[in-house]
Each structure stands twice: as C-alpha cells, then as structure tokens.
Amino acid sequence: MTGPVQPPLFRDLGRVEYQPTWRAMQQFTAARDAATRDEIWLLEHPPVYTLGLAGKLEHVLAPGDIPVIHIDRGGQVTYHGPGQLVVYPLIDLKRLRLGVRALVEALENSVIATLAEFGIQAAGRRDAPGVYTPGGRKIAALGLRVRRGCSYHGLAFNIAMDLEPFSRINPCGYADLEITQLKDLGGPADVNTVAARLKPRLLDQLGYNKA
C-alpha cells in the first residue's frame, strides 16, 4: 500500500497580471511528468474579465475599460480583481485518484469549510459549480482545464473587492445571479488571512493527508 502523496508546494504570488500567469500555468502543465510535485498558486489579479472555451460574448454586457480575455477553461464569463483570492491547483489528478467532478467538489468544500470557520453558511450546487450563500448569492466561482490528467485554472473566492464590475456581465452566464463577498458577510477583509485558513482545508479536501 502506498503512503500519502507528497503535499503540494504552495506559491503565494501576490498581485500578478492575468495573461502571463495563465501562460505559466500552461507551460507548467505541458512540461510536468509523473515525478513533478503538485503546486497550488494563490494570488490576486488586476481587473480582468475571462471568457471560457464555450463562453458567449453576449454575456459580456458593458466591459468598459476592463480587458476581456478568451481563455482555455470551462465555463462562461467571470471577473477577477483586487480583493479576490484566486487559487490555481496545478495537480496530477491521476496520482490523487481524483476525477474532475471530485476536484470541483473538493475545491467547493474547501471554501465551504473555510466560511464555516467564520460562522458563514454556504453550499455548492450540482447544476452550477461554485459556492453559494443562503439566498443564492455566489461567493466563489470555479473554472478548470484538465490536460494529460493534470489540472490548471481553478477557484476565485471573493473576499473584499469592488463588486461593481460583476454588474457589467452575466456572471457565469446567469443574468440575475447576485454576487457577494466575505467582508460583507462579517468575515475578514484580508486576502492573506483567508488564504492561510484555506490552505489546510485544500490539503484535507484534495486528499493529500490520506494514508
């Protein structure tokens, strides 16, 4: 029987531009092999809209001066900006024996467990990936790509940001979807504080701590 999988290397990247970070994820995934250690990148992006592979421009209503980048993840349009914790799991799903649905649920459950630490109730939705607070407001979005059994892109967790740019799109393709954030629910407003609480939850939910 094999022991635990080597835990991932966490990289706290701070605030970084979207496009070079996306290219770096692609390059990491293309170059890795069976011995490559998994990594999880935690960061923020300057204001940007990203549109997934099947994304429809009709959901980008009034982007103004915020750039719109067509990318290679699943899903429709979302917004990234300062005050949002972005988590990119660059992991070998085969090695962890995780399917894509299990990866989605692990990421969702990591956020749900972190929110519970702050006394905030939340849940996932089978029909629409992400994490939602009571009343249906979305606090975290997911969009993934899997190549050669390895994942990139990931999770966007709203902490303390300007939510106005979400009103200029149909978030994740839903016209009436309301967006919320941790600060407005009584939680901490510091992205690094939340990242520190989220990391052990990711290790648990993704299965790195299993024997």
Residue 150: active-site member:
no
Beta strands of 53-175 (E only): which ranges?
Answer: 68-70, 77-80, 84-90, 123-124, 131-133, 137-147, 150-158
> For residues 165 and 66, is the Cβ–Cβ distance under 8 A?
yes
Catalytic residue among 48, 115, 172, 194: 172
Q: Quick one: residue 71, left, alpha or beta (phi over 0 = left, psi -120 to 50 = alpha)? A: beta
Which ranges of the chain does DSSP label H, i.e. alpha helix?
Answer: 18-31, 93-96, 100-117, 191-206
Cα–Cα distance measured from residue 158 to residue 165, given in angstroms and rounded to the nearest whole number? 13
The residues facing 48 across adjacent strands are 80
CA distances to 138, 149, 157 from 63, rounded to whole Å, are: 20, 34, 21
Could you list the active site residues?
Answer: 172
